[in-house]
Structure 1
Amino acid sequence: MLGGRVLLRQPRRGLRAGLDAVLLAAGVPARPGQRVLEAGCGSGAAFLCLAARVPDIGILAVERDPALAALARENAAANGLAARVEVITADVRDLALARRLPPCDHAFANPPYWPGGTAPPEAIRRAATHEEAGLADWARFLAAPLARRGSLSLILPAARLDAALAALAAGGCGATRLVPFWPRAGLPARRVLLQARREGRGPSRIDPGLVLHDAEGFTAEAQSVLRDAAALPG
């Protein structure tokens, strides 16, 4: 991933890490020396991409599946990050655990997003796409150890925008920033990044966003994010 900056081993079956993990990591406004929290880290794709862009961050990750949590630890070690990454096997519905976590400057997740419908037959893929914990559970867990004015970032289908805004408010986060991702210029956005601040009181805003594809493939702006580890514009 990121043009070879990140090495990632994944399960042979199930959902594979892709654009969402890279785009999510590119939107987290972390700085060197800060601590970040990822919930539902899977095999570690998003936090590894963030670490490739921002040096010297401390990473706390939570994953419910013990096998995926172990794989995330292995991937951290393979990328030279074992000393800076802690992966905890836990469920985001454990709010008591969230309140015991050390303070974090930023928190982020690519949570399961569909509340119903036909779920995939494979358990690992189903867990990645269909809700057991609701979006409000994810937001409350991520917000619990978050420092005042720290950022909370979620990447989701645009169809879940209303539910995600309500979830962020339930987690005590405001001053929301919306970053749309358009598959091509002129088409509706299918994915969005939502980012809010703990105890944020400012107005919400919509950023310019990112067009992913043109007639030649990925746009130059998308290439800078997906291959060159650039941060999202805005």
Structure 2
Amino acid sequence: MSFCPDELTHDAFLGGKLHLWQPKKGYRAATDPVLLAAMCPASAGQSVLEIGCGVGTASLCIRSRVDVQLTGVELQPDYAELAHRNAQEAGYEMTVVDADLTDMPLELRMRSFDHVILNPPYYGPGTSSPNEGRDTAIREQTSLSDWVDTALRRAGPKGIVSIIHLAERVGDLIELLNPRAGLIEIKPISAREGKIAGRVLLRAHKGRASRSILHNPLVLHDGQHHIRDGDDYSKVATDILRHGKSIEL
């Protein structure tokens, strides 16, 4: 079932460079997919697969930075429809496949990609959200191991898998990525200087045998506390969230 027009908002990303339709109620993209896009080191002409693409935010943020071939997989048909619409209205080509990541079409399972990106649901089983779309997006109905396994299968021999998740799951992610991917680069995300990282970005390279690397954290906001109206993003965060810059590790 498609969303009705009055159920949607048309929101600006990357300082207005990109405008995306998304539901008023349900899963709404915020900073996470933009940060995920910035973590993906795609080059012009390469292929990118986003698993669980939602309305296409992360993929289209990458495409706004560099000319790549986009494919998205999304379980929820109404979100997949919005991803296709958002790509068309942005003037970009993106193939959007409405499928379960554990049961993708054969044509897709026969392909490999230079980059695979994913933002798996953060939360385990628990009290459901009254909105099914949001619940599917944020609550782990498919195991994290299936998400990572699918990503590694679809990444080419020297492919790169980029992930954003809760910092508390970093141990699980490293265990799931090893030994099929090496050189696992970890970028903690902290709200403010000196604060514990709540989320983490990971970049794992297939075909590379190397130890994990822990980089300096990405600090999103200036100062120890919020002290003024409006956003108080750090310069680095502003470059990423407002200007679409990639993350420098």
Q: TM-score, normalised by structure 2?
A: 0.88
Alignment of 1:72-87 (within 5 A): 72-81=83-92, 84-87=93-96
SS for the counterpart of 2:169 is: helix
Q: Tell me the residue number matched to 1:166.
A: 175
Q: Tell me the residue number matched to 2:135.
A: 126
Q: CA deviation at 1:121?
A: 2.2
Decide whether the 8 Å contact of 1:62 with 1:87 is kept in 2. Answer: yes
Q: Tell me the residue number matched to 1:212.
A: 220
SS for the counterpart of 1:8 is: strand
Q: CA deviation at 1:33?
A: 0.4
Paired with 1:94 and 1:169, the residues of 2 have a C-alpha distance of 23
Paired with 1:150 and 1:101, the residues of 2 have a C-alpha distance of 15
Q: Tell me the residue number matched to 1:109.
A: 118
Q: CA deviation at 1:21?
A: 0.6
Paired with 2:21 and 2:182, the residues of 1 have a C-alpha distance of 36
1:149-198 per-position Cα deviation (integer Å, ceiling 9, x unaligned): 2110110011111222222237x222211001110000000110011112
SS for the counterpart of 2:21 is: coil
Paired with 1:125 and 1:200, the residues of 2 have a C-alpha distance of 36
**Are residues 88 and 95 of structure 1, via their aligned partners in 2, closer, same or farther at CA, if it must alter by over 3 Å?**
closer
Decide whether the 8 Å contact of 1:98 with 1:142 is kept in 2. Answer: no
Decide whether the 8 Å contact of 1:94 with 1:141 is kept in 2. Answer: no
SS for the counterpart of 1:18 is: coil
Decide whether the 8 Å contact of 1:39 with 1:142 is kept in 2. Answer: yes
Q: CA deviation at 1:118?
A: 2.8
Q: Greater CA deviation, 141-150 or 60-69?
A: 141-150
Paired with 2:244 and 2:191, the residues of 1 have a C-alpha distance of 19
Q: CA deviation at 1:97?
A: 4.0
**Are residues 75 and 101 of structure 1, via their aligned partners in 2, closer, same or farther at CA, if it must alter by over 3 Å?**
farther
- Work out the percentage of aligned pairs sharing the same amino acid: 38
Q: Greater CA deviation, 208-217 or 182-191?
A: 208-217
Paired with 1:199 and 1:70, the residues of 2 have a C-alpha distance of 35
Q: Tell me the residue number matched to 2:24.
A: 12
Aligned length: 230
Decide whether the 8 Å contact of 2:102 with 2:146 is kept in 1. Answer: yes
**Are residues 45 and 122 of structure 1, via their aligned partners in 2, closer, same or farther at CA, if it must alter by over 3 Å?**
same
Decide whether the 8 Å contact of 1:136 with 1:168 is kept in 2. Answer: no
Q: Tell me the residue number matched to 1:233.
A: 248
Paired with 2:128 and 2:208, the residues of 1 have a C-alpha distance of 35
Alignment of 1:47-62 (within 5 A): 47-54=59-66, 56-62=67-73
**Are residues 17 and 135 of structure 1, via their aligned partners in 2, closer, same or farther at CA, if it must alter by over 3 Å?**
same
Q: Tell me the residue number matched to 1:65.
A: 76
Q: Greater CA deviation, 92-101 or 68-77?
A: 92-101
Select the residue among 30, 35, 41 that pairs with 2:53: 41
Q: Are 1:180 and 2:188 matched, yes or no?
A: yes
Decide whether the 8 Å contact of 1:98 with 1:145 is kept in 2. Answer: no
1:26-68 per-position Cα deviation (integer Å, ceiling 9, x unaligned): 00010000001000000011101111111x2000110011111
Paired with 2:191 and 2:72, the residues of 1 have a C-alpha distance of 29
Paired with 1:138 and 1:105, the residues of 2 have a C-alpha distance of 17
Q: Which amino acid aligns with 1:232?
A: I
1:116-153 per-position Cα deviation (integer Å, ceiling 9, x unaligned): 33332211111111111111111111121211121101
Decide whether the 8 Å contact of 2:99 with 2:105 is kept in 1. Answer: no
Instruction: Indicate the RMSD between aligned Cα atoms, in angstroms.
Output: 1.6
